[in-house]
């Protein structure tokens, strides 16, 4: 059954006589949520005014009576009992609805829209689309604020969500102009007028008198003549967005805390593994280790002997998820060639004479779930390189003398002080194995190339050996100078040994340069050898060498006596030559 006109009728109207002045009328209805005024002549409705139009005209004609002004809407009269089908194809915008006694019951506005809905519904012959009232209900139930004005900025509608955000009642503001809301400080800035002016969508942040800040978005709706006939504003509570942002921020903070905890954990790991660094290069290695440790990437660490390759390998393992499982080290250079295969792969009982009867598991198997550290990989015999390559490809081993394939899950870290690439070129190392290992290469620079690390190491090892020997020794500045100038052919390992011996042998609590000097002996700096890089006359070369040695010794000791002692010449020679050089 079709709806009746009475069900669609809005009761937001007032009646009055045509002799009433506009001023008096508006004063009377000011606070009421009304949209229309019906001017009565006896029992007949003679004119209908849209209340916002009256506000608009008021400054000019406050004293005018309704009979005297223009602007009445065209309308049609309908009975409440009629089916809504009568609206079909109706040309008027507005209908005034009467009851059985011909008393005005209300109005139906926006008839064309209802019309369209009806047509739509009928064309489908079923209940598709929404009834007019359903729209009202839906907009009222929306959690989004909806605020509608006419094309001049007079407020026509706001839903409960908008009432809440603005802190105003519909009744208070319907029919008012948006600029009044600004004047009354109900909103900070009207977006509606901007939209009317610019004829396009605008977004702004609005502060409401409720203290809430909303992000408003308003769009113009145009009539057929291309004029802005309505402005539809919706807004989102910034507090809700802020709430969301706060939540995101909180999560970010939690992440930062977690990151810090992770940093602390890493520091603890670094501390435990005795990794000291100061130079940019070493910091970079530390950062890289932090990044690659959690992955299962194979790492190839290259660098001279004693630079700290094993330290780095341990770090990678400690910071990986495999840390609870063993880090198994195999020094490929130390195991006799005939044993290395069984060392790596293990053997079954009775595999060869002299072997343990029960058999033995190899290092690779021991490293299952953990990390296998192949130190001195450059020393691995070529034949075994093939077997290692096979394992790296299949991740399976067969014990010597056995047939069973055993699946192994291990991470590989290899280290070498040899130039593997060069070995590949010389045919001493398998190219395919080289590429299998060189997945993530790390090169650790020799100590002489990272002089910035020396002071850090001095402090670090001083602390370490003071603790070890329960001492409290310090380094004299010239002793530190000396450490910084030496070129450390044995790298960190040599440095560590020198520091340990210095702590142990120094006679006082202050380790002096002379005590360091005894340990590193400047004459050994280049193994006691002097290299020439070009040819020059004998005498000139001799002179140049003398100058260089004197300068070097004096730079280190800052004393002609000590320099003379180190160079094994008399003090006057050093003093004289320094003087000549200065002239």
Ligand X SMILES: Nc1ncnc2c1ncn2[C@@H]1O[C@H](COP(=O)(O)OP(=O)(O)OP(=O)(O)O)[C@@H](O)[C@H]1O
Asked if 379 touches ligand X (CB under 6 A), the answer is no
CA-closest candidate to residue 377, choices 325, 326, 412: 412
Q: Considering the complex, state which of residue 377 and residue 482 has its C-beta at the smaller distance from ligand X.
A: 377
Is the Cβ of residue 50 or residue 317 nearer to ligand X in the bound state? 317
Residue 301 φ/ψ, nearest 5 degrees? -100, 125
Q: Which of 20, 274, 279, 571 binds ligand X (CB under 6 A)?
A: 274
By beta-carbon proximity to ligand X, the closer residue of 208 and 492 is 492
Kindly report the length of the chain.
Answer: 583
User: Least separation, in Å, of the C-beta of 317 and ligand X?
Assistant: 13
Report the residue number, 286 or 473, with the smaller CB distance to ligand X.
286
- Phi (first) and psi of residue 323, to 5 degrees: -60, -25
Closest CA to 296 of 332, 329, 274, 325: 325
Contact status: 275 vs ligand X (CB under 6 A): yes
| Choices 400-408, 488-496, 542-550, 574-582 (CB under 6 A): range interacting with ligand X | 488-496
503 phi and psi angles, rounded to 5 deg: -60, -40
Among 50, 309, 399, 562, binds ligand X (CB under 6 A): 309
Least distance between ligand X and beta carbon 572 (Å): 42
Cα torsion angle, 180, 183, 188, 194, sign: positive
Residue keyed to tokens 């507005």: 94
DSSP code string of 3-16: PBHHHH-B--EEEE
Region at 142 (left for phi over 0; alpha for psi -120 to 50; beta for the rest): beta
Tell whether residue 493 is a contact of ligand X (CB under 6 A). yes
Q: Which residues pair with 104 in a beta bridge?
A: 98
Shortest separation between residue 554's beta carbon and ligand X, angstroms:
31
Distance in Å, CB of 305 to ligand X, minimum = 4
Cβ of residue 414: shortest distance to ligand X, in angstroms?
Answer: 12
- The residue from 48, 277, 332, 522 that contacts ligand X (CB under 6 A) is 277
Give one word for 73, left, alpha or beta, with left for phi > 0 and alpha for psi -120 to 50: beta
Residue nearest to ligand X (CB): 308
Q: What is the dihedral of CA 482, 485, 487, 493, to 10 degrees?
A: 40
Q: Retrieve residue 440's tokens.
A: 């993530």
306 touching ligand X, by CB under 6 A: yes
Instruction: Single out the segment in contact with ligand X by CB under 6 A; choices: 69-77, 271-279, 317-325, 567-575.
Output: 271-279
User: Min. distance of Cβ 400 from ligand X in angstroms?
Assistant: 27
Helix (H) or strand (E) holding 581: helix 571-582
Q: Which residues contact 563 (CB under 8 A, 6 or more apart)?
A: 550, 553, 554, 556, 557, 574
Q: Please, which residue, 304 or 365, has the CB nearer to ligand X?
A: 304
Least CB distance to ligand X at residue 344 (A): 18
Residue 320: CB minimum distance to ligand X, A: 18
Interaction of residue 573 with ligand X, rule CB under 6 A: no
Range 401-430, binding ligand X (CB under 6 A): 415, 417
* Residue 496 sits in the site that holds ligand X (CB under 6 A): yes
Listed ranges 273-281, 383-391, 399-407, 465-473: which one lies at the site for ligand X (CB under 6 A): 273-281
3-state secondary structure string, 18-34?
A: CCCEHHHHHHHHCCCCC
* E strand segments, 457-497: 474-475
Asked if 492 touches ligand X (CB under 6 A), the answer is: yes
Among 104, 308, 362, 378, binds ligand X (CB under 6 A): 308
Residues lying near ligand X in the complex (CB under 6 A) are found at 274-277, 303, 305-311, 375, 415, 417, 492-493, 496
């Amino acid at each position: 059954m079709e709806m009746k006109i009475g069900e669609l009728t809005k009761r937001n109207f007032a009646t009055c006589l045509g002799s009433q002045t506009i001023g008096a009328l508006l004063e009377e209805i000011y606070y009421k949520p009304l949209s229309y005024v019906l001017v009565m002549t006896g029992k007949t409705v003679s004119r209908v005014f849209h209340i916002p139009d009256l506000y608009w005209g008021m400054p000019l004609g406050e004293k005018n009576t309704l009979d005297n002004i223009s602007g009445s809407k065209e309308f049609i009269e309908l009975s409440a009992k009629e089916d809504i089908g009568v609206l079909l194809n109706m040309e008027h915008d507005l209908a005034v609805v009467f009851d059985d006694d011909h008393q005005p019951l209300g109005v139906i506005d926006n008839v064309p829209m209802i019309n369209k809905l009806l047509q739509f519904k009928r064309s489908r012959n079923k209940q598709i689309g929404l009834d007019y009232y359903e729209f009202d209900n839906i907009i009222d139930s929306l959690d989004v604020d909806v605020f509608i004005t006419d094309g001049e900025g007079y407020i026509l509608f706001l839903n409960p969500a908008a009432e809440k955000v603005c802190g105003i009642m519909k009744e208070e503001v319907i029919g008012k102009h948006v600029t009044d809301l600004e004047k009354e400080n109900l909103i900070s800035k009207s977006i509606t007028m901007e939209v009317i002016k610019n004829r396009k969508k605008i977004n702004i942040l609005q502060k409401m008198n409720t203290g809430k800040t909303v992000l408003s978005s308003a769009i113009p709706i145009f009539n057929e003549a291309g004029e802005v006939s309505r402005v539809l504003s919706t807004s989102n509570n910034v507090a809700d967005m802020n709430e969301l942002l706060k939540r995101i921020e909180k999560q970010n903070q939690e992440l930062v805390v977690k990151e810090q905890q992770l940093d602390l954990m890493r520091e603890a790991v670094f501390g435990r593994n005795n990794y000291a660094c100061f130079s940019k290069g070493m910091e970079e290695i530390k950062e890289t280790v932090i990044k690659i440790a959690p992955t299962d990437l194979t790492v190839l660490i290259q660098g001279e002997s004693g630079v700290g390759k094993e330290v780095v390998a341990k770090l990678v393992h400690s910071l990986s998820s495999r840390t609870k499982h063993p880090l198994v080290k195999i020094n490929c250079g130390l195991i006799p060639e005939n044993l290395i295969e069984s060392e790596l792969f293990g053997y079954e009982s009775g595999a060869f004479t002299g072997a343990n009867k029960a058999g033995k598991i190899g290092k690779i198997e021991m490293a299952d779930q953990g990390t296998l550290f192949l130190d001195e990989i450059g020393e691995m015999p070529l034949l075994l390189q093939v077997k290692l390559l096979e394992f790296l490809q299949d991740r399976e081993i067969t014990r010597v003398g056995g047939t069973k394939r055993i699946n192994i899950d291990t991470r590989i870290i290899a280290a070498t002080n040899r130039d593997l690439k060069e070995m590949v070129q010389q045919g001493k190392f398998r190219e395919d194995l080289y590429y299998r290992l060189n997945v993530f290469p790390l090169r650790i620079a020799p100590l002489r190339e990272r002089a910035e690390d020396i002071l850090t190491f001095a402090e670090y090892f001083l602390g370490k050996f003071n603790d070890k020997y329960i001492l409290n020794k310090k380094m004299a500045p010239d002793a530190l100078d000396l450490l910084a100038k030496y070129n450390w052919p044995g790298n960190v390992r040599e440095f560590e040994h020198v520091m340990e011996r210095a702590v142990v042998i120094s006679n006082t609590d202050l380790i002096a340069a002379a005590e360091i000097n005894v340990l590193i002996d400047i004459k050994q700096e280049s193994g006691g050898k002097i290299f020439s890089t070009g040819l020059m006359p004998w005498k000139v070369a001799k002179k140049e060498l003398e100058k260089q040695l004197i300068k070097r010794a004096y730079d280190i000791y800052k004393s002609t006596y000590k320099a003379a002692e180190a160079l094994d010449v008399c003090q006057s020679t050093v003093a004289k030559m320094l003087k000549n050089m200065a002239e």
